[in-house]
Every structure is written in C-alpha cells, then in structure tokens.
Amino acid sequence: MEKDNSGSGFLIGLLMGGIVGAILGLLLAPQPGKVTRERLRGRLDEAMSLGKSAWEEGKEAATQKREELQAKFEQARGK
C-alpha cells in the first residue's frame, strides 16, 4: 500500500481532533445547558466562518492557477 507523505492527512486529522475536542469540552463542562448551547453555537459560527474563508481562498487560488496554466498551454500551442 502506498503512503501519502504530503502531510495533508496529518493536518486534516489535527483539525478534526481539535474540533471534536472543543465540542466534547463544551458538552462535558459543568455549566447550564443554555450557556453550553450558546458557546457551542458561537464556536460553530466561528468554524463556519473560517471554513468559508478558506474555501473562498482555495477557490480563488485554483482559478488563478488554472488561468496561468491555460495561458502557458496556449503559448506552447502557438509555437
């Protein structure tokens, strides 16, 4: 079996572990349910915001890279 040495698997695991740990910490903390739900909602909103911004940055970078590669292809094709 081939191993993926790019490090992306580790980063995804680290991110998921952090999210699960934060959620479990909030759910198991000795505080009223209303406070826990508010904290959880705030953390979820924060994570969604980070996810959306990362998605937009990735989409923009992919579009830029596609345009660069397309220009190189057209240049090479014209020769």
pLDDT digits (tens, 9 = 90+) for 23-72: 787 777 787 878 878 887 888 888 888 888 888 888 999 999 999 999 99
Would you place residue 6 in the very low, low, confident or very high pLDDT band (cuts 50, 70, 90)?
A: low
Above 70 in pLDDT, residue 2?
A: no
Determine the pLDDT at residue 66: 93
Tokens of 39: 């904290």
Domain extents in the chain? 8-78
pTM of the model: 0.46
Between CA 24 and CA 32, with CA 30 as vertex, the angle to 5 degrees is 100
Tokens of 44: 């979820």
